[in-house]
Structure 1
Amino acid sequence: MLRALATLLLFQCFGEGLSMGLHVPVPGPVIGLLLLFGYLLIRPSAVDSIEPTALELLRHLSLLFVPAGVGIMVAADKVRGEGLAIVVALVVSTTLAIAVTALVTRALMRRQVRRARMNTPSEL
């Protein structure tokens, strides 16, 4: 478990380093996640060692939002005048996320149907 956790944190650190070093407007953890994804594509056997730890972290994901919630409470006076902008950003981003998810799901379902048709032997 420690090795898997160290691997996850290492990729997050790589992502942070690249984000800061290259001045990319993408958060370091996102870059680290993409690097980890690439690593797992190249070396699929690593999935078995990382998966149990990642699943355990996901089970307790809500605890990881506590520091962010505390940060929002501390900065509440700075955010107070930006209520409308925050609501608009939340509504737009949620709508976009739902729309993209629906489009991707629809495309994958069509692809699955096409593959099923190709694999079904035709009747003579």
Structure 2
Amino acid sequence: MKYLRQFLIIITISLIGEILKELIPVSIPASIYGMLILFVCLMTGFIKIEHVKDVGKFLIEIMPIMFIPAGVGLMSSWDVLRPALIPIIIITVVTIITVMAATGLVSQSIIRFRKSKKSDSEEPKDE
């Protein structure tokens, strides 16, 4: 019953994301809306991590299986993709490097911010 409740929470948030996608005239995927809603709910404490942790782990474990249909689709479309292979490879490599660099810079900024915040709170106050 615990797993069913956790899965229902995640599915409900996904449904809300789908509804927002239809209501808001911006080209943002419904999955992004759902992830943002889940993130906000977790950060505010509206949903505790224990309410979705086990099913979330399970979904992450089976995620590679979800890529099998996409891989089969790519293989069946090989004749269409072959002429555009070089641009696709270039775009993929540039995108990977950009995402890695942005993630690294944001992570370093967060670490520096937390260190400076921690060192500010540890300084003795003169009275």
Q: TM-score normalised by the shorter chain: which range applies?
A: 0.7 to 0.9
> What SS is found at the alignment partner of 2:67?
helix
Q: TM-score, normalised by structure 1?
A: 0.82
Runs of 4 or more consecutive aligned structure 1 residues displaced over 4 Å after TM superposition: none
Aligned equivalent of 2:8: 6
> Deviations along 1:68-103, whole A, 9 cap, x unmatched?
212222222222221122112111110111111111
Q: TM-score, normalised by structure 2?
A: 0.81
What percent identity do the matched residue pairs reach?
Answer: 24
Aligned equivalent of 2:64: 62
1:7 Cα deviation from its structure 2 partner: 1.8
Structure 1, unmatched stretches of 5+, are none
Range that drifts further, 95-104 or 73-82: 73-82
> Deviations along 1:12-36, whole A, 9 cap, x unmatched?
2322333244443222211211122
Structure 2, unmatched stretches of 5+, are none
Query: Could you say what the CA RMSD is over the residues aligned between the two structures, in angstroms?
Result: 2.3
> Deviations along 1:6-60, whole A, 9 cap, x unmatched?
2212222322333244443222211211122222234444321101110121122
